[in-house]
A = this chain, B = another copy of it.
């Protein structure tokens, strides 16, 4: 039997973490051949060079696509997507995949979806049917309408995709591959590496054995001008809480410069308020999860707080509307962009301590389920709304 060629396009560091076990399962599957395309910010040093981790993890890259436009406005996000379509359509033309896989809902994943759909290549979408604030919300559901196969994380997500008019036979709950990695650290007892030594970063070094906080806060694109103010509220809250903190640099996004500038300015001019914070650019997914597993909790607006941390039982303080509507597993306190509210929620979570594990987003075998599904799912590109 001829192997199905599965072309997966990875465009960013967090998307890689989210798809990694599926990549491995596809690569090792007897009926599948992996064609891995690495594009956009996944190639850029400023955003953590996911490409290096990908290569270190032993994946062979079929094509690299540089398409991130530099700029301080939303125009750059649109242009990055346009350029992505130009390039990815050439890539697909050369690779001739049987299925293209696009991950989640970052703006540039739309380029993958359009190139595949317009070229009559069956499109599989991972993590459709979820609900969040932000432009991601529009992107995610628009991709659902372009996609032919939907590999969703939760039962509720499946319901939504079907309500959006998709054929129930093509909407499969596989869970989220990010939970597969979390599964590996679920029962680990202590941090088995020194984050300062292994990953460098900037800022003071602290004794992490007495407890520490992890922060990851991305700009929210539809509120461009406010991103600097938002980040300052969190910076001040964390500074005043005073616990050792490991802070991770944000993704590329419109608004990114507001956020980045806020952080830089804080370090430069208010460094006395930031003595407890150490800043990192990136970390291998598995190490990042170990770090979370051993932390007091996570603060910010990353989906990790809602997804992986619900499985791991780690307290999360979720700021602002970026995760609005995303299913939660009981470990999250939602707060506004407000220093006092953030501080209070952190204290409340530390008092509570770790939660019990929740399997809403998967049970740890999603990568394999995705690969198995891609091998057997009926392929087709024609669909029609039935209501």
Name A's B-contacting residues (CB within 8 A).
43-46, 63-79, 81-90, 92-94, 107, 110-111, 114-115, 117-120, 131-133, 135, 137-139, 141-146, 159-160, 163-165, 202, 221-222, 224, 252, 257, 268, 324-325, 381-385, 387
CB-defined contacts of A86 to chain B, threshold 8 Å: 79, 82-83, 86-87
CB-defined contacts of A221 to chain B, threshold 8 Å: 120
Contact B165 A119 (CB under 8 A): no
Contact B160 A387 (CB under 8 A): yes
Contact B87 A84 (CB under 8 A): no
Contact A72 B85 (CB under 8 A): no
Contact A131 B385 (CB under 8 A): yes
CB-defined contacts of A142 to chain B, threshold 8 Å: 142-143, 145-146
CB-defined contacts of A68 to chain B, threshold 8 Å: 69-71
Contact B89 A111 (CB under 8 A): no
CB-defined contacts of A92 to chain B, threshold 8 Å: 75
CB-defined contacts of A67 to chain B, threshold 8 Å: 69
Contact B46 A70 (CB under 8 A): yes
Contact A71 B78 (CB under 8 A): no
Question: Closest CB-CB distance, A79 to chain B, in whole Å?
Answer: 5
CB-defined contacts of A77 to chain B, threshold 8 Å: 118-119
Contact A117 B137 (CB under 8 A): no
Contact B85 A87 (CB under 8 A): no
Contact B44 A133 (CB under 8 A): no
Contact A79 B71 (CB under 8 A): no
Contact B111 A82 (CB under 8 A): yes
CB-defined contacts of A85 to chain B, threshold 8 Å: 78-79, 81-82, 85
With A85-B81, A90-B75 in contact, is A135–B163 under 8 Å at CB? Answer: no
Query: Nearest 6 A-B pairs (CB), nearest first?
Result: A82-B85, A78-B89, A78-B118, A82-B86, A141-B145, A142-B145
Contact B165 A163 (CB under 8 A): yes
Contact A114 B118 (CB under 8 A): no
CB-defined contacts of A117 to chain B, threshold 8 Å: 135, 138
Contact A382 B133 (CB under 8 A): yes
Question: Closest CB-CB distance, A297 to chain B, in whole Å?
Answer: 26
Contact B381 A160 (CB under 8 A): no
Contact B93 A131 (CB under 8 A): no
Complex: chain B residue closest to A40, CB-CB: B70
CB-defined contacts of A44 to chain B, threshold 8 Å: 70-72
Q: How far is the CA of A332 from the CA of B75 in the complex (A)?
A: 43
Contact B69 A66 (CB under 8 A): yes
Contact A325 B384 (CB under 8 A): yes
Question: Contact partner of A141 among B71, B118, B120, B165, CB < 8 A?
Answer: B165
Q: How far is the CA of A142 from the CA of B146 in the complex (A)?
A: 6
CB-defined contacts of A325 to chain B, threshold 8 Å: 384-385
With A78-B114, A384-B325 in contact, is A64–B135 under 8 Å at CB? Answer: no
Q: How far is the CA of A44 from the CA of B73 in the complex (A)?
A: 10
Q: How far is the CA of A79 from the CA of B107 in the complex (A)?
A: 18
Instruction: Give 23 CB contacts A-B under 8 Å.
Output: A63-B90, A64-B94, A65-B90, A66-B90, A69-B69, A78-B85, A78-B115, A78-B119, A81-B85, A81-B114, A82-B89, A82-B115, A83-B83, A83-B86, A87-B87, A131-B384, A131-B385, A138-B383, A139-B146, A142-B145, A159-B387, A222-B381, A222-B382
Question: Contact partner of A90 among B87, B120, B146, CB < 8 A?
Answer: B87
CB-defined contacts of A144 to chain B, threshold 8 Å: 145
Give the most central of A69, A163, A387: most B CB within 10 Å.
A69
Question: Closest CB-CB distance, A318 to chain B, in whole Å?
Answer: 16
